[in-house]
Structure 1
């Protein structure tokens, strides 16, 4: 299957052609299927490209193993983990302002409210490190964190996750129209 980018249609991202060889006793014919992938919604500042994924995992692993960490993360009075000031500051303007008020020689402390589940804060921090969201559970709390700390991409993802899923019949009709 070969993707072909079409420039003449803004709503059309990719066009695929699939050739299937029919091998019946009498004929050697190819049957060709064409289908398009149409974009329904896009997040402006979020896209995929070829890259080395290991560096994201390595940063997250370094945080979990407390390698060169300089920020302590609390939920209420519970110390959840340690993190890296440079990553938190780079990913959230609010955390950047908070962490720049503290001198570089001190260990910084970031405290999340007790109203947030430990798992949600964990997924939020993992998103800051890796740019990936592995769960859609408790989107409301995740959206609150994204809004509170001004992580725009995560805010947009949460809006998409909380949107009403497409109707099955509508989706089927759309695919049949292709």
Structure 2
């Protein structure tokens, strides 16, 4: 296929991020309620996924339990509390950096696709065990509001030089941000 042919194909992911999911990522340092802070389109799709079970004859309470689980799961996934076995820490890194740790923690898809950040000392934060020289109570926070200067139009984090990075330390470095 010719290069002009592939470049004329719209990137649906960019469009959806910019116009729908970016609202959720305005929570650069998320709290429990950031989990359900969504664009109406995203919220409709998120909760209507529970209706997939209806054609299979499931009892309505199964659908209601699924909706309840989606809400509580979103709250717990963004609450910032670290309980043993809970990988909220890696999701906090996702909100701080935007271009990493997309998948669920038990599935190693981020490692396979090169979008995982974190190391063994970070795993100690997940399981509550102190690794050599690691502070288990330490949590990642983004130091200020996200602006055009530190995030590109698609949502990828930039360094001070404006170049996207793949490999970085797990804890985001404080950066100077301007209020707009």
The alignment's TM-score, normalised by the length of structure 1, stands at 0.29
Question: 1 or 2, which has the higher helix percentage?
Answer: 2
Higher RCO (C-alpha under 8 Å, 6+ residues apart): 2
